[in-house]
Every structure is written in structure tokens, then in C-alpha cells.
């Protein structure tokens, strides 16, 4: 969220983390929010939390779509 970016740029890392965690709690099924939280943890040097957030993001990715069989040529 933009709020977390503002907090991070002004070195209020606790508030930035809280803002990112809030958005992941409000929309827990959106992998993008988990990914942003993981990138934040990487920038702040918290590798364990970053890894956990990446795992959650990967688990939320949509499953690969099944392909339909090809149609027979028309007559």
C-alpha cells in the first residue's frame, strides 16, 4: 500500500510492517500482498520472515489451468 511506502521512506519501519500486515489480513487470499510483505522483509534484513511470506504467496498462486483437447478439423 502507499501508506507502507511512505512509512518506509521516512524510516518508520514498524509502522510500515504493520500497514503491510494489515492489508494481508484484510485480503488474505491475494498473493501479491504476501509478495510485497516478503520484499519488505528482504529490504529490512529479516530473511526468515521473508521466506515465510514467499511460501504463503506461492501457496496462493492459482493452479495451472487445464488445457482443452484440440478440435477436429471442420468438414
What is the sign, positive or negative, of the torsion defined by CA atoms of 63, 4, 9, 37?
negative
Tell me the average pLDDT across 56-73. 80
**17-32 pLDDT, tens digit each:** 999 999 999 998 888 9
pTM of the predicted model over 0.85: no
Enumerate residues 6+ apart whose C-beta is below 8 A from 59: none
Amino acid at each position: 500500500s502507499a501508506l507502507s511506502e511512505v512509512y518506509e521512506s521516512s524510516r518508520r519501519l514498524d509502522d510500515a510492517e504493520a500497514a503491510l500486515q494489515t492489508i494481508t489480513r484484510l485480503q488474505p487470499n491475494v498473493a501479491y500482498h504476501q509478495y510485497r510483505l516478503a520484499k519488505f522483509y528482504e529490504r529490512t534484513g529479516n530473511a526468515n520472515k521473508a521466506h515465510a511470506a514467499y511460501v504463503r504467496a506461492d501457496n496462493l498462486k492459482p493452479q495451472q489451468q487445464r488445457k482443452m483437447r484440440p478440435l477436429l478439423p471442420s468438414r
